[in-house]
Structure 1
Amino acid sequence: MRVTQSMLAANSLRNLSKSYSDMGKYQEQLATGKKINRPSDDPVVAIKGMFYRTNLTEVEQYKRNLNEAYQWMESSEQGIEHATEVTQRIRELLVQGNNGTNSSDDLKAIAAEIGQLKEDLAGVANTQVAGRYIFNGTKTDEKPITVNGDGSLTFDMNTEPFNVEVSKGVQLKVNINATNVFGSDFFNTLDSIEASLKNGDMSNGGQLLSDLDSQFNTMLAERSEIGARYNRLEMIDARIQDQEIIANRILSENEDADIERVITELTIQESIHRASLAVGSKVIQPTLIDFLR
């Protein structure tokens, strides 16, 4: 087969074009730090990258869910802590009113303080986090306790668990059973204590004290339960953080370019390109235009 001058020129131009394309690829990898910049560069790497990014997106969503779970649990625990402190104060006042040395005015003063503490507890029961009532189960848009104009209370408590997905297939309850802390039985006990003090009749003081202690123990049990769930949440959080580190490492190994290797390949390709230009200028014969210069 006869090799013509046009064939030499065409081959030379095709090889130079490929050389430019290779240099462009390495320069793009160097600029972006990625092995591929479009799926056609390496379909296998691209498909794996989509899978790894999906896993990483899931982990990031679970981290956001964990933050919400922390917020609910910490706010709930804080509410229970405040309720126990108020209950302890009410118990002190009840013991003081039950010692038989108080005048009727003294008992009324104690009753007035207990009334204020009762209203404070109702306010804590209506605690909101990000506009949602955390002590009303799944009815987060409704108050669990409504304070009426005459000072009486209306209860509409929902005890259904409010679950948050904190890991793949793992739902964790983040609310408490508010009836164990702010239930109607507890407030009925407080009403009875307040009424006895106002009437100056503490003959049932021992029974009231026993009922209050029972409610207090129920509060402590609920606080222990949310503490146990909080510990589990921290363990899940640690595992999610490990998963995020692993997912980022795998994604980096799959997509990130080896910069040292890319620089070396680019340098080699530039050398080859310069050599191709030099050889091409010698192989391709001069044209008539060159003689007319």
Structure 2
Amino acid sequence: MPRITNSMLVANYLNNMKRNLGNMSTLQNQLSSGNSITRASDNPSTATRIMQLNSEIAANKQYNSNIKDVTNWLDTTDTALSEAGNVFSRIRELMVKAGNGAYGKDEISNIKDEIVQKVAQLGDILNSSFDGNYIFGGTKSTSKPVVANSDGSISYLDKNGTAFTGASGTAADPNAYTQINTKLTAEISTGVTIEYNQTSTNILEFTDTDSGTSVNASDVLKDIVNNLSNPTATNLSTVTGSDLTKMDYIIKNVQKCRSTVGAMQNRMDSAQATNEDQNYNMTSILSEVGDVDYTQKTMEYSVAQTVYTASLQTSAKVLTKTLLDYL
């Protein structure tokens, strides 16, 4: 049997003390932080899982924020489309009134003036904004997308506020039309990206699905005002004939746009509920993996403290301080 020296006893004692102190320190950190893992080296696999869960929870919170933003955007859009539908319906009523053979030029002029005012109101609606962004402006959302003109037409606006009607935009801003016509996207969950906005072009330029007729609402409104400005029998017949038919297409198109928005609102409600469920589940898993069981850790700390105290008391008896203890 090898000789056990005093230095060997001291070294063994110090190693045990360090281990006991380290165990107490770990337990103290866990109790004070509430986390079962305070360093990656404590448990690498658990630490990796915790980091992954934290990353997923952070991403899920961003998705939740995106869903709320889209929902608010859609609510604003729905309100604006409702107002636009009311404006077009009122214009239609005025068009029907213009066909009343008993009306003279003054009455027709008053109808025309009200329609021009309704077109101006429509321009304001198409320039509705949410959180500083024009909701019908596509990616050109920081400046107004349209302007209503006194002749009843509605023009698009480039970044400098210059009016244009064609898809080529303006010389200063050739991409203006493309930007106004562009869909906005948002990611609402991992790998799920949606288009959620309606544009001015959706409302003003479309093809009626039933008849196959291409309609430009700006041209129709301009034609109505022009015909009412010169209320001959032929012009009034056009207002109550082909123009009225196109106005019905316009109203139906607005209803279609609003229906699309409504369907997207329902989808966002479902996405919100799913997101909240996922967040709850991930948070619960993170708690199970990373949170401290205070009852268990308090008992473990009490045991560790007892062991540490016992080791101090034992060493005081076994390891003498001086030779005088032997005399």
TM-score for the superposition, normalised by structure 2? 0.81
Shift of 1:6: 2.9
* Corresponding letter in the other structure for 1:198: S
Partner of 1:260: 295
Shift of 1:260: 0.9
The more displaced of 31-40 and 203-212 is: 203-212
* Corresponding letter in the other structure for 2:265: Y
Matches within 5 A, 1:94-133: 94-133=95-134
Matches within 5 A, 1:208-223: 208-223=243-258
Residues 1:195 and 2:217 aligned together = no
Output the aligned Cα RMSD.
Answer: 2.4
TM-score for the superposition, normalised by structure 1? 0.89
Separation in structure 2 between the aligned mates of residue 9 and residue 111 of structure 1, nearest angstrom: 106
* Corresponding letter in the other structure for 2:219: N
* 1:248 paired residue among 271, 275, 283: 283
Q: Mark the runs of 5 or more structure 2 residues left unpaired by the alignment.
A: 157-164, 166-176, 206-214
**Other structure's SS at 1:44 match:** helix
Indicate conservation of the 8 Å contact 1:79/1:124, yes or no.
Answer: yes
Question: May I ask how many residue pairs the two structures share in their alignment?
Answer: 292
Separation in structure 2 between the aligned mates of residue 149 and residue 212 of structure 1, nearest angstrom: 19
Point out which structure has higher relative CO (alpha carbons under 8 A, 6+ apart).
1
Separation in structure 1 between the aligned mates of residue 237 and residue 152 of structure 2, nearest angstrom: 25
Shift of 1:17: 2.4
* Corresponding letter in the other structure for 1:47: T
**Other structure's SS at 2:103 match:** coil
* Corresponding letter in the other structure for 1:6: S
Separation in structure 1 between the aligned mates of residue 289 and residue 73 of structure 2, nearest angstrom: 38
> Percent identity of the aligned residues?
32
**Other structure's SS at 1:165 match:** strand
CA offset digits 1:131-186 (Å, max 9, x no partner): 33322333334543234688754236443322212111112111125334234821
Indicate conservation of the 8 Å contact 2:80/2:125, yes or no.
Answer: yes
* Corresponding letter in the other structure for 2:111: I
* Corresponding letter in the other structure for 2:251: F
Partner of 1:10: 11
Separation in structure 1 between the aligned mates of residue 221 and residue 265 of structure 2, nearest angstrom: 30
CA offset digits 1:243-291 (Å, max 9, x no partner): 1111111222221111111101001111111211221211122414769
The more displaced of 142-151 and 282-291 is: 142-151
Separation in structure 2 between the aligned mates of residue 171 and residue 243 of structure 1, nearest angstrom: 18
